Each structure stands twice: as structure tokens, then as C-alpha cells.
Amino acid sequence: MEPTYRKVASAIAARIIDRSLTRGMPLPPELELAAQFGVNRSTVREALRELESGGLVSRAKGTKRMVVAEPGGDALAERVSQALVLSDVTVEQVWEALMVLEPPAAVAAAERRTDVDLGRIAAAVERFRRDNADSERAMSAVADFFSAVAGAAQNPVLALAQAPALQVLTSSLALLIDRIPQARQRVMTAQQRILEAITAQDATEAQLWMERHIRDFRRGFLIAGIDLSYRVSIDAVR
């Protein structure tokens, strides 16, 4: 049986989702919410804690009053990536997901990008070129590159779907570039060619190079001796 506090949390969440309560709007006081739902104040507090942990509400600065928030992409990605790890998702399964997501994102980016988008992608390419000797910084730059391409696609669904997969795959990519000397150069080449295609608004070339780039990861895993059946981890491949 569902706990009462969770029913209250679901009812408040429904109001947020249907925009009856909009971003930045303060929630009614706890006593008022308790009266509305016919529950104790402690039940309301528990419901609000659940909503806060889910990123739907936050505490207004300088007050105990809760206001409607907007879940950040990073928080959502973290929750989904944890679910992927707990579901025993493998490196190969995440790679397959990227093959589905990334080439269409590159096509859309080539068709819709703005000058600001191009600046973000170029900055990520330069960051990888500058910092790739350090594995942690290199993987952060790789994630930034894919995020920038998805952002240029002007489709938040693509960006939200992509982020958790990147979080759980980056640790294995770090192992890959450390074990294969030519991996860094291949990443730099692919990123540069994708940037050039998106800049030229050449959707066909952007798709082609993104497909090559993602396929290269799988080939690199095999060459590096990383078992594709390994379960992904947010911190490291086990």
C-alpha cells in the first residue's frame, strides 16, 4: 500500500506538471497543505522532502518556504545513471544507445545550430586538444563535446536522453584512451571533422563522422581488452 506522504507528494507533483503551480511559485504553508489533504503536518513535511529530493521544489533563499523548482539536467542524469548501474547495464548496451542517439543529434545540430552553439562545440574540441593528457579532464571534455552537439540540435529530449549514458560510459572511455596510444588523436580528428560539418551545415557529413566516431569507441574497447559485457559504473568499469 502506498504511504500517505507519497500520495500527497504525487498530488503536489501533478499540480506542478500540469502547470497549476509554476516555476518560482511558493507552495502553500504546511498547515494549509495539511488541511487541503486531510493529513498531519508531519506527513506534509515528508512529502515535501520527497519532492525536494526529486528536484521539483526547493527552499526559497532566506526562508523555510518551499517554491516550485525546475529539475536541472545534471540532477536528472545522475538519477537515471544510477538506475542504469543498478539495472546491470553493460558497456555494449550503452554504446548501442549512443549509436541511436548521437548521429541524429549531429544531423539536427548541422541543420539548426546557432553561432553560440558553434562556440560551445569548438570550445569542447579545443579543451580536449589541450587537456587530453589528463584522463579525467579528457573525459570531461568528451562529455562536453557530446552535450554541446546535443544542445545545438535544439531538442531537449535528445540532451536529456544522452546525459545519463555519457555519465556511465566515461569511465570506460578513460581506460580506452589510456591503453591505446592513437585513441586521443582519433578522438581529436573525429571531433574536428564533426565540428567542420556542423559549421558548414552539412548534415550528411556530420552524421557520417559521428557514426564513425561512435563506432571507433567500440573498436577501441575491443583493442584495449575492455569486455563489452562489463557492467557500467559511474566511477569505473568493474
Question: What is the third-level CATH fold of 74-224?
Answer: Four Helix Bundle (Hemerythrin (Met), subunit A) (1.20.120)
Contact 210, 102 (CB under 8 A): yes
Contact 180, 64 (CB under 8 A): no
Q: Phi and psi for 185 in degrees, rounded to 5?
A: -65, -40
Assigned C-alpha cell, 40: 498531519
Question: What is the third-level CATH fold of 4-68?
Answer: Arc Repressor Mutant, subunit A (1.10.10)
Please compute the mean of the pLDDT values over residues 130-150 and round it to a whole number.
91
What is the residue-averaged pLDDT of the chain? 88
Q: What is the pTM (predicted TM-score) of this model?
A: 0.73
Cβ atoms < 10 Å from Cβ of 3 = 12
Assigned C-alpha cell, 2: 502506498
pLDDT score, position 83: 74
Residue 52: closest CA among 31, 62, 37, 67 = 67
Residue 106: closest CA among 35, 204, 232 = 204
Pairwise pLDDT comparison (61 vs 199), residue with the higher score: 199
Q: Give the integer Cα–Cα distance in Å for 146 and 215.
A: 15
pLDDT score, position 12: 93
- List pLDDT tens digits, range 92-139: 888 898 999 999 999 999 999 999 999 999 999 999 999 988 888 898
Domain residue extents for the chain: 4-68, 74-224
pLDDT score, position 237: 36
- List pLDDT tens digits, range 39-54: 999 999 999 998 888 7
Please compute the mean of the pLDDT values over residues 9-25 and round it to a whole number.
90
